[in-house]
């Protein structure tokens, strides 16, 4: 039992040595508070400064997307290879084992589907995100959308407000309409708008030309979506180029779970993102795993 008699004056350890104050490894995040940094450090590996996120939230706008019909069979086995998983609250409760111990990028905005006009969205109750122990709140931001641009930016703003109350960072997901050109000019505008409105991480697409203009002008980390399924070699090439040009990771879905060897793709992408592998080295990892099956 502690009492006054056992209180001793310390020996003065460290006198003359300034207390260590560590910097923070993530772009644009140095001034965030402890809870935010803790959550971001679970998503982005502090050693490499990067992340491999596995996205399988497609069903909320697309229904049972190919590869996601039975997520218990196709997605759950991939979770161990991801740094973070991105999904809806439905999937989280229905399919994802709470024992997986991975940070969750929770799809926080919800709304219209591919059958009507996308991006007409609302937000979930922040208490639900806290209850689900979300590490990141993912919100659509449809810059340039004629109908819903303003609504989605309001959603982003509200999410940042709510997340800040609880120390949960926000992922601004750039939703790019079919009528918009995914070039560096548009993507840098959209990413910057998300960051300026408080997104702590931005998810966008890679573009062949001048992608480094996009990452350079975005003051927070960028992760790229994979987009439609590509041949494995091309998807790895894209991931390599994106990282080489300043992306802090990937948040990929279809190029992983629609592959003929999803685990091989996860391992290959990890080699690029965390270990600086060239595309051909990563492809060899994919092939090796595929042939082992
Ligand atoms: C759509 C999303 C997806 O999570 C995103 O597009 C990533 O998946 P893919 O790599 O298949 O494009 O934000 O709601």
User: What are the residue boundaries of the structural domains of the chain, listed by start?
Assistant: 30-259
Which residues have C-beta within 8 Å of that of residue 94, sequence separation ≥ 6?
A: none
Cβ pair 290, 232 in contact under 8 A? no
Across the chain, mean pLDDT equals 96
Question: What distance lies between CA 60 and its chain's CA centroid?
Answer: 17
pLDDT bucket at 177, cuts 50 / 70 / 90: confident
Which residue has the CA at smallest separation from atom 14 of ligand 1? Answer: 58
What average pLDDT does this structure show over 230-246? 98
**Degrees to nearest 5, angle at CA 137 with 134 and 275:** 80
Percentage of residues of the chain with pLDDT beyond 90: 92
Pocket test for ligand 1, best of 52, 58, 155, 269 (most atoms within 8 A of CB): 58
Q: What pLDDT digit, counting tens, does each position of 59-87 carry?
A: 999 999 999 999 999 999 999 999 999 99
- Residue 137 is predicted with a pLDDT of 98
> Residue 211 pLDDT > 90, yes or no?
yes
Kindly list the protein residues whose Cβ atom lies closer than 6 A to any atom of ligand 1: 55, 57-58, 61, 86, 173, 225-227, 251-255
Rounded-to-integer distance, Cα 8 and Cα 15, Å: 17
Which residue has the CA at smallest separation from atom 6 of ligand 1? Answer: 225
What average pLDDT does this structure show over 29-40? 98
Q: How far is the CA of 205 from the centre of ligand 1 (A)?
A: 10
Instruction: Catalogue the long-range contacts made by 264-270 (C-beta closer than 8 Å, 24 or more residues apart).
Output: 264/288, 264/289, 264/290, 265/232, 265/235, 265/236, 266/52, 266/54, 266/78, 266/81, 266/82, 267/81, 268/232, 268/236, 269/52, 269/236, 269/239, 270/52, 270/81
Which residue in 11, 27, 203, 233 is the catalytic one?
Answer: 203
Residue 224 pairs in a beta bridge with: 204, 250
Residue 185's Cβ-side half-sphere holds a number of Cα atoms within 13 Å equal to: 2
Q: Tell me: domain 30-259, CATH 3.20.20.70, correct?
A: yes
- Residue 2 is predicted with a pLDDT of 64
Rounded-to-integer distance, Cα 60 and Cα 124, Å: 13
Which residue has the CA at smallest separation from atom 8 of ligand 1? Answer: 253
Rounded-to-integer distance, Cα 61 and Cα 257, Å: 17
> Residue 16 pLDDT > 90, yes or no?
yes
228 is catalytic: no
What average pLDDT does this structure show over 123-135? 98
pLDDT bucket at 284, cuts 50 / 70 / 90: very high
Percentage of residues of the chain with pLDDT beyond 70: 98
- Residue 97 is predicted with a pLDDT of 98
* Widest distance between CA atoms in the chain: 76
Q: Tell the residue number behind the tokens 């390599």, with chain if given.
A: 240
Which atom belonging to ligand 1 lies closest to the Cα atom of 138? Answer: 13
């Amino acid at each position: 039992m502690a009492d006054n008699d056992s209180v001793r004056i310390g020996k003065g350890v460290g006198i003359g040595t300034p207390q260590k104050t560590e910097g923070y490894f993530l772009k644009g995040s140095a001034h965030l508070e402890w809870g935010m940094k803790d959550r971001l450090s679970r998503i982005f590996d502090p050693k490499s400064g990067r992340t491999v996120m596995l996205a399988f939230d497609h069903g909320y706008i697309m229904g049972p997307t190919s590869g996601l019909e039975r997520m218990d069979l196709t997605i759950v086995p991939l979770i161990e290879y991801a740094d973070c998983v991105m999904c809806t609250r439905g999937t989280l409760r229905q399919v994802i084992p709470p024992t997986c111990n991975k940070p969750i990028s929770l799809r926080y905005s919800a709304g219209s589907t591919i059958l009507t006009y996308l991006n007409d969205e609302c937000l979930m109750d922040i208490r639900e995100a806290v209850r689900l122990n979300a590490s990141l709140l993912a919100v659509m931001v449809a810059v340039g959308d004629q109908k819903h641009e303003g609504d989605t930016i309001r959603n982003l703003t509200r999410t940042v407000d709510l997340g800040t109350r609880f120390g949960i960072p926000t992922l601004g997901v750039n939703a790019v309409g079919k009528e918009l050109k995914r070039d560096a000019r548009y993507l840098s505008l959209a990413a910057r708008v998300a960051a300026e409105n408080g997104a702590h991480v931005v998810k966008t697409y890679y573009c062949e030309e001048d992608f480094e203009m996009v990452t350079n002008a975005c003051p927070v980390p960028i992760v790229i979506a994979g987009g439609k399924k590509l041949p494995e070699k091309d998807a790895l090439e894209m991931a390599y180029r994106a990282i080489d040009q300043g992306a802090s990771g990937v948040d990929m879905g279809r190029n992983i779970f629609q592959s003929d060897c999803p685990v091989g793709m996860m391992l290959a992408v990890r080699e690029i993102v965390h270990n600086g592998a060239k595309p051909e080295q990563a492809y060899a990892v994919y092939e090796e795993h595929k042939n082992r099956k």
